């Protein structure tokens, strides 16, 4: 077992999840409550990583980060090293790649909060921001936790984007899934099988946790209890 | 705390589709006074209440309460629901499910003054009899208790005006009757003026000091509830109000406050009203109609009309009897009375109506 790769993966997933918590809450609440007529366009952008091949996403992120793009140039000037093939670059790519997994459950649970409750809170003199933290967030707790858990697990298992943006640098950007790929290339099936089993068990545990959290609201309409 | 003021409303709001709300009125709101907004479903009464709360926008118009302007579209002024200092109780009470009863009640009190307001919250809890439930979650308490918690929560910020949307409609009949009286007592005791939306006549009579009647988004009549109940200004008001028997008739003579009216060839005596037109609608509410047997009974009722019982329908503890006396008239009587008279479908009966219980509306 390559513990260094496991550690890199966990570090990447934690950083990604933390950033998605901070970015995801305002974005998800905007998506849930905005009445803007072009909102569906932004919804589609957020959902893109669900259907786009990771290599395509990785390619664009790589190009955008590269020293020839204004963004990449600006970052390199500021920090002193370029984003691609660094851990920070990997975090940026992972945040984009896991965005729908965090934002969609959050957003739908925010939208599910009874509108009457929100309005009563306003009439009681509580501002919109305070209403979000005192009423909407506690009511939508399960959706937020689900989003974060899914984002964490999804980041842990990503492969294509990591390979495109991070490369395969031992201790920096070599994650578990890339390590498994390397083992198979080396025909070391025993090691690949051990790491794969760990990922499988972990993924199953995470999903079981998510479904347990949502056992009364139901992620799938057909599974909803009456 | 100034709780006296005039509520002045003159607003219009169009909705996609055909419905539009167009209402103008002014109502003096003294301490503990209740203005009832009465109307059938779809009349726009909840929308009006939401406009007062600042939860619904207005296309055009002005809303003022006392010295404060809440909304003035020409001056582009709109005060948000947070700044109106109101207590709003929506129809389903909307208690916060994740907070205890006490936390629900304290929700609108800013943290900085929560300690100072402790005594006031305790007083509210005891006035509304919620002591035993302070730590319960809203999911585990009865409908009547929820109503009280919602009321306490709305009152906790010491609002200038309470806005109640059908506060009793979610309750079963016995709870409803007792809470109706209790609600009146609470509002008087705490001396907060209130606007109350309802489609129930008993609510209106028990709770209302003034009422406005809405139908189809416009205001039909404005005044004390009893006046509107007994003296509807138009046929629409009479039918919205739920007067069971409304008949076209002709006034043929007027003497000493009593009018003689002919309906379908029958002669009726009715309380006269001063309007020039002699073509009238005769309005008779079923609870003012008595049933007699034979014609020998002595009674103060001026009208005695023999007829045949057409139908008998249960109406809660009472019975609604339709009698054909030449026209159809409904009587609301107790089950016991019906049994004592031994009435059945097809029986002969005499309908008795006091002249003062027959209300004339110009046609």
Interface-testing mutation among B79, B105, B108, with chain A (most A C-beta atoms within 10 A): B108
| Chain B residues lying within 8 Å of A129, measured CB to CB | none
| Chain A residues lying within 8 Å of B98, measured CB to CB | 138-139
CA closest to B89 among chain A residues = A120
Q: Which residues contact A14 (CB under 8 A, 6 or more apart)?
A: A152
The CA distance from A93 to A85, in Å, is: 11
Question: What is the H or E stretch that residue B285 is in?
Answer: none
The CA distance from B154 to B148, in Å, is: 10
Query: Concatenated DSSP letters for B103-137?
Result: HHHHTTS-HHHHTTTHHHHHHHHHHTT-GGGTT--
| Chain B residues lying within 8 Å of A139, measured CB to CB | 97-98
The CA distance from B100 to B102, in Å, is: 5
What's residue B22's pLDDT? Answer: 94
The CA distance from A77 to A72, in Å, is: 9
Tokens, residue A33:
């409550």
Instruction: Report the DSSP beta bridge partners of residue B311.
Output: B322
Tokens, residue B146:
């929820």
Measured in angstroms, the CA of A68 and the nearest CA of chain B are apart by 49
The ipTM value here is: 0.77
Least confident of A141-150, A188-197, B1-10, B338-347: B1-10
Interchain pair A116, B92: CB under 8 A: yes
CA angle B117, B178, B148 (to 5 degrees): 25
What's residue B295's pLDDT? Answer: 64
Q: Which of A6, A226, A33 is nearest to A113 (CA)?
A: A33
| Cα B73 to chain centroid, rounded | 30
- All structural domains of chain B, each given as residue ranges with its CATH number in brackets, are 5-230 (3.40.50.300), 243-362 (2.40.50.100)
| Chain A residues lying within 8 Å of B97, measured CB to CB | 139
The CA distance from B264 to B248, in Å, is: 8
Spell out the per-residue pLDDT of chain A, length 226, in tens.
778 888 889 999 999 999 999 999 999 999 999 989 999 999 999 999 999 998 899 899 888 888 888 888 888 888 888 888 888 889 999 999 999 999 999 999 999 999 999 999 999 999 999 999 999 999 998 899 999 999 999 998 888 888 888 887 887 888 888 889 889 999 999 989 998 998 899 889 988 888 888 776 655 444 334 3
Measured in angstroms, the CA of B104 and the nearest CA of chain A are apart by 10
| Chain B residues lying within 8 Å of A121, measured CB to CB | 96, 107
What's residue A158's pLDDT? Answer: 87
Tokens, residue B193:
């003026």
The CA distance from B150 to B94, in Å, is: 8
What's residue B174's pLDDT? Answer: 75
Reply yes or no on whether the pLDDT at B198 is more than 90. yes
Tokens, residue A194:
């051990």
CB B253 within 8 A of CB B259: yes
Instruction: Report the DSSP beta bridge partners of residue B330.
Output: B322
The CA distance from B195 to B174, in Å, is: 23
Interchain pair B107, A124: CB under 8 A: yes
Decide the pairing of beta strands B258-263 and B266-271.
Answer: antiparallel
Residue holding tokens 């809170």? A121
Interface-testing mutation among B54, B55, B89, B149, with chain A (most A C-beta atoms within 10 A): B55
The CA distance from B331 to B349, in Å, is: 11
- Mean pLDDT for B299-315 is 87
CB B90 within 8 A of CB B146: no
User: Is-above-0.90 flag for pTM?
Assistant: no
Q: In what order do the strands lie in the sheet with B318-324?
A: B289-292, B348-353, B303-315, B318-324, B328-334
- Mean pLDDT for B329-352 is 89
Dump pLDDT digits (tens) for B241-296. 777 787 889 999 998 889 999 998 899 999 887 777 788 888 888 888 999 887 66
CB A19 within 8 A of CB A95: yes
- For A135, the closest of B55, B85, B96 (CB atoms) is B96
- For A125, the closest of B94, B97, B108 (CB atoms) is B108
Q: Which long-range contacts (CB under 8 A, 24 or more apart) does B275-280 make?
A: B275/B362, B277/B362, B277/B363, B278/B250, B278/B251, B278/B252, B279/B248, B279/B250, B279/B251, B279/B362, B279/B363, B280/B248, B280/B249, B280/B250, B280/B251, B280/B360, B280/B361, B280/B362, B280/B363
Q: Which of A76, B327, A131 is nearest to A84 (CA)?
A: A76
Contacts A–B by Cβ distance under 8 A: 55
| Other beta carbons within 10 Å of B36 | 26
Reply yes or no on whether the pLDDT at B126 is more than 70. yes
Helix residue ranges per DSSP H, chain B: 45-53, 101-106, 111-114, 118-127, 143-155, 173-190, 201-207, 225-230, 235-241, 335-341
| Helices first, then strands: H and E counts in chain B | 10, 21
The CA distance from B217 to B137, in Å, is: 38
Dump pLDDT digits (tens) for B21-44. 999 999 999 998 999 999 988 899
Q: Which of B319, B314, B343 is nearest to B331 (CA)?
A: B319
| Chain A residues lying within 8 Å of B90, measured CB to CB | 116, 119-120
Measured in angstroms, the CA of A133 and the nearest CA of chain B are apart by 13
Question: What is the H or E stretch that residue B9 is in?
Answer: strand B5-14
What's residue B316's pLDDT? Answer: 79
| Chain A residues lying within 8 Å of B86, measured CB to CB | 123
CA angle B38, B276, B233 (to 5 degrees): 0
The CA distance from A21 to A32, in Å, is: 16
Q: Which of B291, B331, B324, B286 is nearest to B308 (CA)?
A: B324
């Amino acid at each position: 077992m390559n513990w260094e790769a496991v550690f890199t993966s966990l570090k990447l997933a934690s950083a990604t999840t933390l950033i998605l918590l901070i970015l995801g809450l305002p974005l998800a609440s905007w998506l849930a409550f905005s009445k803007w007529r072009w909102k569906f366009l932004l919804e589609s952008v957020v959902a893109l990583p669900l259907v786009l091949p990771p290599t395509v996403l990785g390619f664009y992120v790589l190009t955008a980060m590269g020293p020839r793009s204004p963004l990449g140039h600006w970052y390199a000037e500021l920090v002193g090293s370029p984003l691609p093939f660094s851990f920070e670059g990997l975090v940026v790519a992972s945040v984009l790649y896991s965005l729908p997994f965090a934002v969609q459950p959050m957003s739908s649970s925010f939208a599910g909060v009874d509108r009457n409750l929100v309005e009563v809170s306003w009439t009681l003199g509580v501002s919109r921001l305070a209403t979000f933290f005192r009423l909407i967030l506690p009511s939508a707790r399960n959706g937020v936790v689900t989003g974060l858990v899914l984002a964490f697990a999804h980041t842990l298992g990503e492969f294509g984007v990591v390979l495109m943006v991070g490369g395969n640098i031992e201790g920096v950007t070599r994650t578990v899934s890339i390590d498994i790929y390397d083992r198979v290339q080396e025909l070391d099936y025993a090691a690949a099988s051990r790491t794969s089993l760990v990922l499988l068990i972990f993924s199953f545990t995470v999903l079981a946790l998510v479904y347990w959290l949502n056992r009364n609201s139901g992620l799938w309409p057909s599974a909803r209890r009456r | 705390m100034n709780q006296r003021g005039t509520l002045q409303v003159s607003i219009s709001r169009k909705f996609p589709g055909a419905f539009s709300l167009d209402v103008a009125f002014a109502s003096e709101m003294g301490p503990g006074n209740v203005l009832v907004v009465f109307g059938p479903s779809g009349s726009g009464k909840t929308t009006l209440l939401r406009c007062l709360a600042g939860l619904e926008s207005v296309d055009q118009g002005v809303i003022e309460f006392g010295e404060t302007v809440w909304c003035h579209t020409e001056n582009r002024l709109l005060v948000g629901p947070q700044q109106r200092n109101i207590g709003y109780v929506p129809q389903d009470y909307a208690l916060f499910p994740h907070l205890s009863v006490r936390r629900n009640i304290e929700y609108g009190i800013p943290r900085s003054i929560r300690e100072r307001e402790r005594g006031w919250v305790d007083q509210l809890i005891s006035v509304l009899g919620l002591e035993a439930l302070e730590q319960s979650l809203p999911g585990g308490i009865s409908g009547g208790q929820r109503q009280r918690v919602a009321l306490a929560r709305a009152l906790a910020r010491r609002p200038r005006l309470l806005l109640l949307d059908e506060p009793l409609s979610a309750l079963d009949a016995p709870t409803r009757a007792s809470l109706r009286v209790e609600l009146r007592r609470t509002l008087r005791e705490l001396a907060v003026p209130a606007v109350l939306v309802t489609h129930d006549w008993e609510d209106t009579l028990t709770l209302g000091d003034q009422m406005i009647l809405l139908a189809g988004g416009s205001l039909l009549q404005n005044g004390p509830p009893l006046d509107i109940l007994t003296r509807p200004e138009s046929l629409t008001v009479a039918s919205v109000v739920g007067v069971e028997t409304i008949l076209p008739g002709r006034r043929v003579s007027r003497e000493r406050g009593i009018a003689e009216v002919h309906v379908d060839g029958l002669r009726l005596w009715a309380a006269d009203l001063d309007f020039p037109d002699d073509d009238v609608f005769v309005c008779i509410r079923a609870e003012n109609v008595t049933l007699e047997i034979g014609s020998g009974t002595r009674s103060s009722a001026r009208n005695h009309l023999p007829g045949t019982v057409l139908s008998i329908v249960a109406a809660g503890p009472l019975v609604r009897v339709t009698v054909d006396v030449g026209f159809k008239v409904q009587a609301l009587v107790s089950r016991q009375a019906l049994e004592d008279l031994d009435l059945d479908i097809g029986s002969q009966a005499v309908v008795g109506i006091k002249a003062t219980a027959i209300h004339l509306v110009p046609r």
